[in-house]
Structure 1
Amino acid sequence: MYQIKTFNAIAPEGMARFEAENYAIDQGENPDGIILRSQKLHDYAFPESVLGVARAGAGTNNIPVEALTEKGIVVFNTPGANANAVKELVVATLLLSVRPILQGANWVQSLTGGNLEEVAEANKKQFAGHELEGKRLGVIGLGSIGAMVANDAYRLGMEVMGYDPYVSVDTAWTISRRVKRAQQIEDIFTTCDFITIHVPLTDATRNLIGEKEIAMMKPTTRVFNFARGEIVDTDAILKAIENEELGGFTTDFADEKLLHNPKILVLPHLGASTEEAEINCAKMAARTLKRFLETGVIKRSVNFPTVEMSFQSPYRITIIHNNVPNMVGQISTEVAKLGINIENMVNRGRGDYAYTLIDVSETDETKMVRVKRHLAGKENVVRVRTIKNAEVFNEWI
C-alpha cells in the first residue's frame, strides 16, 4: 500500500483517484508521495521514503526542486489545468483597464435620493473609457495560458503579437494563425499598447520587465503580470508611472508599495482561484503522482525527463542516475549478470540527470531484490526502484 501525505486542502475530486485499497492518506510518517498546493516546503525534512511530489498548480517556487533532484525525488506540476481560470482573469482586467467599470459601480453605490436614475445619467461621462478593439496586445510566453489569452484577445478585435522562443509544438497548433510572431522581445516592448507576461520565474526571467524595458514602451502602455511577482521590477514600475512613462500596471501579486495608486490594480492572487481550476489541478496532480508510483512513468515533471513506456512485464526497474556516458551499458550488464532477461527499455536525459526504465521477464522476487541492491551500489546511480505488475505477474507464474 502506498502512503500519501497532503499539504493544504486538496479538492476531493482529485484525492478520490487514490483508491482506499491501495492508498493510505495522511496516515503515516513515511509517505511515498506528497501532494500540495501553496505550502512552502523549503524547510520541510523530507523522509527518505518520498519518491515524488506533485503540486496542484503550475509554479513550483514553494518546493526545493534542486535539492529534491539530487535525492532522486521527482517533482510534478499541473501545467494547463488552471489555464482557463487565469486567462479569464487576464481578459477581465484588460477590460477593466480601459473601462472604469469598478469606479462607476462604486460611485453609483454612493448615490442617495429619489432621482438616482437622472443623476446617474447626467454624470456618466466621467466614467467614459476606451475600447480594446484595434489596440495591440503583446503576449510574452505562449504556454497554456499565454496561448489562450492570445486567442481570446484576437477574438475581442485586438491585434495580437506573441513572443516565445521555446513554444512547444503542441501549443503552437492551438494558437490562431492571426497571432503575429515577434522575432525578438523588443518588438513587444516598442509596439504594443498592452503587454501581458506568462513565463515561469527563473534566473533568466527575474526582473524581465525593468527600467530598460519600460524605456522602450509607449508612455500609454499598460503592463499585466499574472506570472510571478519577481518577474517585474516593482520599483521600476512605480518610477515610470510617477514620471508618466507608463500608462498603468495590473498584478496578481500583492505588494504594499503598489497600493493606493490610481494607475495600479493589485489583486490578491486570484488567477487560479476558481472551483473548476482547483478541481482540475487536483485531478491532474493525483493522476500524475499515482501513475508514477504504480508504473514509474514520468510525465509533467519539472526536474526529470518525460519517460513513458507501456508496462506489460512482471517487473519494472526504474533508475535515476547521473547523465554520464555508458550508464545504460553498465545497467544492462548488471541486469544480465543475474540472468534476468530485458524485455523493453527506454532512457532519457535532462540536464545532469537521466532516467531509465527496464521491463524484465522475471518472476523470481529474490533476483529482483538482488538486482536492485547491485544497481543502487553503482557509481552515478541516485535511486533505484523495482515495481511489481501484480496483474501480469500472476499470469506469468
Structure 2
Amino acid sequence: MLIKNCKLIDREGLVDILIQEGKIAKIEAGMEYSGEILDAQGKDVLPGMIDVHTHMREPGMTHKETIETGSMACAKGGVTTYIDMPNTNPATITVEALEEKRRLSEEKSIVNFGFNFGGSLDNNSDEIRRAQNIVATKVFLNISTGKMLIENDEVLGEIFEASEKVMVHAEGEMVQKAIDFARKYNKKLYLCHISQESELELVREARKDYKEIYVEVTPHHLFLNLEEQTQRLRMKPELKPQTDVDAMWRAIEEGMIDTLGTDHAPHTLEEKDAKVTFGIPGIETAMPLMLDAVNEGRLTLAKLVEMYSTKPAEIFNLKGKGRLEAGYDADIIIVDMERRYTLKNEEIVSRCGWTPFDGREVKGRVETTVVNGNVIYSADNEDKFNKINGREVKING
C-alpha cells in the first residue's frame, strides 16, 4: 500500500509512505505505485499510539470488555498497540495464565498487543523469571484485587530482583518506597498514573542520582478534577484538586512526565451506579481529548506523539514501534485536526458502552488506523472495522 499526501510532524511538505510486508519501506515525496493507494489528503499522519496501561478484562470479566471490543476501541482511538495489565481472572501471575491470555489475544485482537505480568503476595518470583516476552512486572503497593497487593518487604524485594522492569501502582509515600526498591535492586521503574504534585517532587529529587525512573499520567487526571467527582468517576488513584491537575500539565511542559497511559478500566454503568466501583474506560477517548488539547495550545502534536508512542516504545524496548521510519512496523494513524464533534455514550464501541466525557465537544479526530500495513479502522466507512488479527509485540533484549 502507498499512503499519499502525508503531513508528518518532522518533515517539510507532503510525503508518501510506501508499505511492504507490514513494514514501512520508504518515505519520500511523489512516489508512483500501481497497487492499493490511500490518500491522506494532507492531513497529519502519525505513528500508531502505544498504550502500556490497559485492562481488557478477558479472561474472567467479559461482560465489561473483551479482547475484541477493547481492541476495537483501541483502533478507534488511534492505539495500534496495547499492553494488558495482569489483574484479570485468573490473574496473570503464572506462566499458565499468561499463555492462556496470549492464546486469546492472538485469536481475538485486531491491534497489536503485549502483556504485563503480575507480582503476587505469595511470592511468584520463580514464575516471573520463567515468563517469556513480557513488557514488565506490575506491582501493586496501594490497592489491588485478589493476591496482588504486596505489603511484605521481603517478598517485594524478591519480585524486584526477579524482574527486568517494574511497573508500580504507588500513591503518596508508596512512590518513595518504589523508588527506594528500584534503586536498591538497580531496576527500571515505571510509575503508573502519577496524579499529585507531591509525588512529582519525589521523582524530581530521585532523578538527581537515579535516572531509570519514568512517569505516566492518565487523561482523566488531566481533564477531570476532584470537584467533578461523582460515583461514576471513582478510580484509583482518585481525582485530584485542580492545583494537582495544573501541576500535571506543567510537568508535561517541563518534560517531567514521560508517557500517557489511559488505565483503561471499563465497568458497566449498572456496576458503577450500584456501588462504588473503581475504574473508568479511556482508551477510545484519549486521542480526541489530547488532540483537542493540541488545538488549544496546551501541548504540541510532537509532544503528544512522544508521550503516547515514541517514549513507551523506547522505555519498554518494543521492537519496530513508535516511529514513522523505514524499517519500522506500518502502524500508522491519520488524524484530522480540524474535525469538530461531540463524544457520546451511544457511539462508544468498548463493551461497557459509556465514557466519562459524554457530551464533551472536541476538535481533532482519528480518521484512519493502519496496523501492520492493514487498514483496520476508518471513521467515515459504514463498517468501520476490518477485523484482521494484530500481532504480539516483541521485546528487544
What TM-score results when the alignment is normalised by the length of structure 1?
Answer: 0.29
User: Which one has a larger percent helix, Structure 1 or Structure 2?
Assistant: 1
If asked which structure has higher relative contact order (CA below 8 Å, sep 6+), I would say 2
Q: Which has the larger radius of gyration?
A: 1
What TM-score results when the alignment is normalised by the length of structure 2?
Answer: 0.29
